[in-house]
């Protein structure tokens, strides 16, 4: 659905970011008690859409596309990757989309490697180097 909206607006498709899945899953549970963009586990330098109450993916996407801020995240040409989570607490559905920017890492000797940087809190930076078909999947965490 996200990539269809992006295609309708002349934008490149996003790819799934499995390295962010656990973060999105945690965020979906967190917003059941604190419906805000404040993460108990530290902030990540990502775009984020949250919603509650929508009972289907179509319904939540429709709501996000009708909201200027959420629509801006979905249609941000700089974002290249996405992770999505939904959590049901027994009475309400909670939805999260997280967006991240990954750029080609031209300084790496292996072609097809991308650098994705997320900030997990104010003192820690995580760099993910990923590449299709080259067996490279490296994560490096450093203090800033």
pLDDT tens-digit series, residues 34-83? 998 876 555 556 789 999 999 999 999 999 999 999 999 999 998 999 99
Q: So what's the pLDDT on residue 100? A: 86
Fold assignment, 1-100: Pathogenesis-related Protein p14a (3.40.33)
**Cβ(118)–Cβ(68) under 8 Å?**
no
CA–CA separation, 25 and 12 (whole Å): 25
**Alpha-carbon gap, residue 112 to 140, rounded angstroms:** 18
Judged by DSSP in three states, 52 sits in strand
Residue 141 has pLDDT above 90, yes or no: no
Label residue 103 by pLDDT band (50, 70, 90). Answer: low
Q: Residue 81: which H helix or E strand, with range?
A: strand 81-88
**DSSP reduced 3-state for 82:** strand
Cβ(105)–Cβ(113) under 8 Å? yes
State how far the Cα of 41 lies from the Cα of 26, in Å rounded to an integer: 9
pLDDT at residue 140, as a whole number: 33
| More confident position, 105 or 55 | 55
Segments making up each domain of the chain, as ranges: 1-100
């Amino acid at each position: 659905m996200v990539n269809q909206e992006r295609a309708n607006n002349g934008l490149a498709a996003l790819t799934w970011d499995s390295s962010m899945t656990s973060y999105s899953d945690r965020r979906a549970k967190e917003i059941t008690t604190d419906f805000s963009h404040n993460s108990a586990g530290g902030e990540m330098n990502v775009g984020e859409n949250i919603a509650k109450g929508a009972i289907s993916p179509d319904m939540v996407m429709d709501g996000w596309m009708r909201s200027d801020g959420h629509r801006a995240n979905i249609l941000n040409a700089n974002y290249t990757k996405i992770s999505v989570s939904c959590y049901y607490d027994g009475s309400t559905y909670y939805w999260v989309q997280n967006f991240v920017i990954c750029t080609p890492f031209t300084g790496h000797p292996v072609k097809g490697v991308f650098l994705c940087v997320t900030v997990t809190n104010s003192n820690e930076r995580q760099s993910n180097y990923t590449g299709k078909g080259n067996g490279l999947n490296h994560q490096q965490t450093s203090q800033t």
